[in-house]
Amino acid sequence: MNNKRALVTGGCGFIGSNLVHGLSERGWKVDVVDDMSNGHLEFLESLKLKIVPGFLVGQYEENYENSRSDGTVLVIEADIEHESVLQRVKRGRYDVIFHLAANPRVAQSVENPAHTTDVNCTRTLSLIEAVRDCSTPVRFVFSSTCALYGNVAILPTDEFSIPNPSSPYGLQKRFVEEYIRIATDLHGIDAVSLRYFNVYGPRQVADSAYATAITAWCNRVKDGQSLRSDGDGEQSRDMVFVDDVVRANILAATREEKFKGETINIGSGKRYTNNQILDMFRGRFGNISVTNAPPRPGDVRHTQADITKAAKLLSFVPQVSLEEGLNRTWSWWGL
């Protein structure tokens, strides 16, 4: 039995739930904290769960923690700033913290920058402070985003590119990355930021904050509706399958050398236009109906990751092609 102990924030969300499954399959002891604002408990329903509201964590620790069976995932329904969560971190209950909890809706960050800054920055800093004050060594793996690059002139884009976020969401992630870098210098914390490109796959639902065009189109195909295409359809994305993102997180968590606030791109290293992906949908489902819509505010034109650094520091090589990933995604949707 693997004796690694992990906390996954946002562990009932799209990427988080896939990570919880991946860790559990590898024998990790996993705790989840999720306020269910973007999470779905049913994403973990195939696992053995113990669900505890934040205000009852103390009672759980006193009466049930020591009898917790192997393979049981503890789900704490609370915000990451809940004192019971921060105290568990400070008392050294975890070897690794995977921080995925966020409000990642670009449009919402444009409309409500103060609220999303509180969620994505201030509450994250509270968690990092708990890591700083932890009684034992803990690694902090932060889920960042390619959105902080903005519209770039050079593709593929490496980590040395100057960030130029085109949305408050990208700026918020950039702020946390910089704080992490400073905290590694000031306090010696062991932390790394993984910059995800466009993640897709099973457990990504159409109303998810992370929903890609692929997910939205799967939902519309299932409902027999027209597929929406924004702009001219020539915008391109580095589409990375969620299982590859899970692997990258686990590689980051188990790296022997200590991290010092590095930023690492996690993507496929390739890019596809919306029109190309639409053609793949047509190849699967025939003559589908497409409705054109204006470009979305805050969206960048192209993304493509240079994943050289991920290969060097994490030995990360993406394993799932877009064709295979689409087939596995369609299968999860029952299409």
Judged by phi (left if over 0) then psi (alpha if -120 to 50, else beta), residue 257 lies in beta
CATH number of the 102-201+240-268+304-319 domain: 3.40.50.720
Instruction: Quote the pLDDT of residue 103.
Output: 85
Read off the pTM: 0.95
Instruction: Quote the pLDDT of residue 324.
Output: 98
CA nearest 239: which of 154, 331, 318, 164?
Answer: 318
Instruction: Quote the pLDDT of residue 223.
Output: 93
Q: Please state the domain extents for the chain.
A: 102-201+240-268+304-319
Contact 210, 104 (CB under 8 A): yes
Per-residue tens of pLDDT for the chain, all 335 residues? 578 999 999 999 999 999 999 999 999 999 999 999 889 999 999 999 999 999 999 999 999 999 999 999 999 999 999 999 999 999 999 999 999 999 877 778 888 889 999 999 999 999 999 999 998 999 999 999 998 998 888 999 999 999 998 889 999 999 999 999 999 999 999 999 999 999 999 999 887 655 788 999 999 999 999 999 989 999 999 999 999 999 999 999 999 999 999 999 999 999 999 999 999 999 999 989 999 988 876 677 899 999 999 999 999 999 999 999 999 999 999 99
Instruction: Quote the pLDDT of residue 209.
Output: 59
Strand intervals (E) in the chain: 5-9, 29-34, 48-53, 72-77, 96-99, 139-145, 190-196, 198-200, 227-230, 236-237, 239-241, 262-266, 272-273, 290-293
Instruction: Quote the pLDDT of residue 150.
Output: 87
